[in-house]
Amino acid sequence: MYKIIAKKQLNSAVEEMVVHAPYVARKCEAGQFIILRVDEAGERIPLTIAEYDRANGTVTIIYQVVGHTTRLLAALNPGDSIVDFVGPLGQPTHLARHTRVLGIGGGVGAAPLYPQIRALHEMGVACDVILGGRSREFVILEEKFAPVVENVYVTTDDGSYGEKGVVTDKLRSLVASGVRYDEIIAIGPLVMMKFAVLAAKELGIPTMVSLNPIMIDGTGMCGGCRVTVGGETKFACVDGPDFDGYLVDFDELMRRQGMYKEEENHICKIGRG
């Protein structure tokens, strides 16, 4: 059992939780993730490691409440326990000593982006970040990014906060104004990553993305997480989750991610009782 140490609401749909998981905390690095099962009958779901504390053996996760399992998770409180919490999974992000890197975080994608940007900052790389959301509510972790980047730019679809527009608009205007980036790290909904990569390609900036296909074991055993990268089949859980965005077949991935839409809706309704 893995004890919940603390929990915080970040907006109406996103929460942050600190969990005691010493085997995960002892070795994890930016870019890696965990898989958890809330209870004995539960489903296994992957979540990125947002922060960790080796001394106290704790790991922080940030999740958006979107369906059955994340709702069960959100119902737990400090002092409660999670039955299974395994990791660290996946390859640590490969961080290069660039001069300037731009992070793009869409919605809850800001969570997995944060540890990567922080690690770059600690390596002495100058970073900026664009945080995008549907509206003000969905822009998270602004205050966490502030100390590790030079500029935080915010865009919202409805203009309720920051600039009205999508993250790619901001990317283009930054580059047009003369800012030079050696690399972009884009993490968010698949559509956002797809369009961020298209824009970055036009601008000639290499772009890493972090993929989130459906997973079960997270150890390379089921092949359910397979994605096509550069024409080859890769298992996102062991070969990724970070990949060169230019090479990812986003359309296939979007399709595969929707494989259980019907079942998810079904269980959502039952779950609401």
Partner 1 sequence: MANMSPKKVPIPEQEPQVRNRNFQEVALGYTAEQAIEEATRCLQCKTRPCVAGCPVNVPIPEFIQEVAAGNFDEAYRIITRENRLPAVCGRVCPQETQCEEVCVRGKKGEAVAIGRLERFVADTWMAGHQPETPEIVKKGIKVAVVGSGPAGITCAGELAQLGYDVTIFEALHAPGGVLMYGIPEFRLPKALVQREIDSIRKLGVEIVCNVIVGRSITIDELFEEEGFAAVFVGSGAGLPSFLRIEGENLNGVYSANEFLTRSNLMKAYEFPKSPTPVRVGKRVAVVGGGNVAMDAARTAKRLGAEEVYIVYRRGEDELPARAEEVHHAREEGIIFKLLNNPVKVHGENGWVTGLECMEMTLGEPDASGRRRPIAKEGSNFVIGLDTVVVAIGQSPNPLIRQTTPGLETERWGGIIVNEETMKTSKDGVYAGGDVVTGAATVILAMGAGKTAARAIHEALEKR
Ligand X SMILES: Cc1cc2nc3c(=O)[nH]c(=O)nc-3n(C[C@H](O)[C@H](O)[C@H](O)COP(=O)(O)OP(=O)(O)OC[C@H]3O[C@@H](n4cnc5c(N)ncnc54)[C@H](O)[C@@H]3O)c2cc1C
Instruction: Calculate helix-pair angle for 190-203, 167-176, nearest 10 degrees.
Output: 20
108 binds ligand X (CB under 6 A): yes
Q: What angle do CA 246, 167, 155 make, to 5 degrees?
A: 165
DSSP 239-264: H-SEEEGGGB-HHHHHHHHTTTHHHH
Task: Please identify, using beta-carbon distances, which residue of 22 and 220 lies nearer to ligand FES.
Answer: 220
185 within 8 A of 101, measured Cβ to Cβ: yes
Distance CA 258, CA 96 (A): 33
Per-residue contact track with partner 1, 254 to 273, x per CB under 8 A? Answer: -xx-xxx--xx-xx--x---
207 binds ligand X (CB under 6 A): no
27 binds partner 1 (CB under 8 A): yes
Ramachandran assignment for 96, one of left (phi > 0), alpha (psi -120 to 50 degrees), beta (any other): beta
Binding to ligand FES in span 168-227, by CB under 6 A? 215-218, 220-225
188 binds ligand X (CB under 6 A): no
Q: Fill in the amino acid letter for 181.
A: Y
Could you say which of 3, 84, 160, 198 contacts partner 1 (CB under 8 A)?
A: 84
Could you say which of 53, 122, 244, 252 contacts partner 1 (CB under 8 A)?
A: 252
Give contact residues for ligand X (rule: CB under 6 A). Answer: 33, 45-48, 62-64, 66-70, 108, 111-112, 212-215, 241, 257, 264, 268
Give contact residues for partner 1 (rule: CB under 8 A). Answer: 23-24, 26-27, 37, 41-44, 68-69, 83-89, 216-217, 219-224, 226-228, 233, 238, 252, 255-256, 258-260, 263-264, 266-267, 270
